Amino acid sequence: MNQVNSKNFDVIIAGAGPAGATAAMQLGNSKLKVAVIEKEAFPRDKICGDALSADVLNQLKLIGSGILNEFKNFEHKQKIKNLSLIGSKENELKIELLDPEIEGATAKRIDFDTFLFNQLKKYSNIEVFENHKIIEVTTHENYIEITTSQNRFKGAFVLAADGANSVVKSKLVGKNFNPNNFSAGLRQYFENVEFPTTKETIELHFLKGTLPGYLWVFPLPNNQANVGIGMLSAQVRRKKINLKNHFSRLIKEHPQLKNRFKNAKPLESVKGFNLPLGNKKVKCSGNRFLLLGDAAHLIDPFSGEGIANAIRSGRVAADHVLQAFYKNRFDTDFNKAYDKEIYRRMWSELRVNSFLLRLMNYPRVFNFLLKKASNNDSIRMVLISSLQNVNMDKQLRKPSFYWKLLFG
């Protein structure tokens, strides 16, 4: 390593995905000197389903600085107006997106993340370091130090937004892989997949042998599609499933899918990555650091959606950092307020969706619910809210809700 003296910053953000980029944007134009350290060079790929829910667009609106309007003109996206949940008995539940003002979309992460990353160029107090892989983190009395493949950085605060395999987290909190809190995910891009009706629908197929989890078919621009599968890691282990083989077999042989892939051409080999699920509260902060997005296990356990919460955590983290500098407090006790705020904003949805994840362990019950949802408003509401991040807390506290859920 060809090291020079440490570079000094107020805040060091590890990772320039949605969580890191958003936290940086929210600190843009502040008086703080911010470094964003990223191991790749943009544009870079990220294995994902590429679905941007209405909640993601809502988060963009809340970031401000006209970013939602810029996204409206972003050319690499496919508008999405419907979700289709398809059970193993071909029972299908179509859900229209709730807010006609804010549509959902799909966009390849290589394009979407570059769109976010490019926003950072607007701010003179943000310096970006690409091709810097973080390899070490050490906490000192008055600062925290990050060592990368190319340099050393000192700061008062580190925001760990370096994703599911966060090095910052493993150095500061430790490694803990519990297969009940992770899903295994695979993605393969295709061209020429057939869509039964409109390309404005994303499909989740809850198939036999795939629960808890689902196979997805998401349309993309240019006649392409993101097709993949996500399944609870504990189940993959317990049943000794070879997920790649299982996925390829479903596409080739499953009656619901095979005809639609007859003329489809794979554009890459099947690629995999882990999803850290938010079905358990974790420690999100400590002395001079906060964990964001996937590093903080904020992925929706039912839908596998993590981009919106990653952005949300970026916004919460930036607010907390401003408070910390104002009060000159970076210690563990002060940072507990961040954990509190993260779970105040996200736990009610994560909890409901953890329940839905557990329900998927009982395929018959899950299929029954899916079927019933077509004519039961309460069940529809649970599913819509879980997929669109609508706060259900008030509803869930009413006994009448459960009555309608079971007997309505």
Ligand X SMILES: Cc1cc2nc3c(=O)[nH]c(=O)nc-3n(C[C@H](O)[C@H](O)[C@H](O)COP(=O)(O)OP(=O)(O)OC[C@H]3O[C@@H](n4cnc5c(N)ncnc54)[C@H](O)[C@@H]3O)c2cc1C
Residues at the interface with ligand X (CB under 6 A): 14-20, 37-40, 46-51, 133-134, 161-163, 167, 185, 187, 228, 230, 273, 275, 292-294, 299, 304-307, 310
| β-pair type (289-291, 285-286) | antiparallel
Q: How far is the CB of 198 from ligand X (least distance, A)?
A: 19
Q: How far is the CB of 408 from ligand X (least distance, A)?
A: 30
* Residue number, 10 or 294, with CB nearest to ligand X: 294
* Residue number, 20 or 286, with CB nearest to ligand X: 20
Instruction: Answer whether 216's CB lies under 8 Å from 227's CB.
Output: yes
DSSP state of 293: G
Q: Minimal CB distance to ligand X: which residue?
A: 306
Our measurement of the distance from residue 80's CA atom to the centroid of its chain's CA atoms, rounded to an integer in Å, reads 18
Closest CA to 36 of 155, 139, 141: 155
* Residue number, 17 or 155, with CB nearest to ligand X: 17
Q: How far is the CB of 399 from ligand X (least distance, A)?
A: 33
Q: How far is the CB of 18 from ligand X (least distance, A)?
A: 4
Give the DSSP per-residue string, 307-322. Answer: HHHHHHHHHHHHHHHH
* Residue number, 276 or 378, with CB nearest to ligand X: 276
For 175-213, the three-class secondary structure string (H helix, E strand, C coil) is: CCCCHHHEEEEEEEEEECCCCCCCCCEEEEEECCCCCCE
* Residue number, 12 or 405, with CB nearest to ligand X: 12
Give the DSSP per-residue string, 380-393. Answer: HHHHHHHHHT---H
* Residue number, 48 or 215, with CB nearest to ligand X: 48
Cα separations in angstroms, 41 against 77, 98, 173, 273, 277? 22, 36, 27, 19, 27
* Residue number, 107 or 392, with CB nearest to ligand X: 107
Structure tokens at 330: 């970076």
State the angle between helix axes of 377-388 and 363-373 in degrees (0 to 180), rounded to the nearest 10.
100
Q: How far is the CB of 367 from ligand X (least distance, A)?
A: 23
Closest CA to 365 of 379, 351, 384, 345: 379
* Residue 328: burial class (beta carbons within 10 Å; 0-12, 13-18, 19+): exposed
Q: How far is the CB of 298 from ligand X (least distance, A)?
A: 7
* Residue number, 186 or 405, with CB nearest to ligand X: 186
Q: How far is the CB of 376 from ligand X (least distance, A)?
A: 27
Q: Enumerate residues 6+ apart whose C-beta is below 8 A from 145.
A: 6, 137, 138, 139, 152, 153, 154
Distance CA 268, CA 215 (A): 17
Q: How far is the CB of 223 from ligand X (least distance, A)?
A: 19
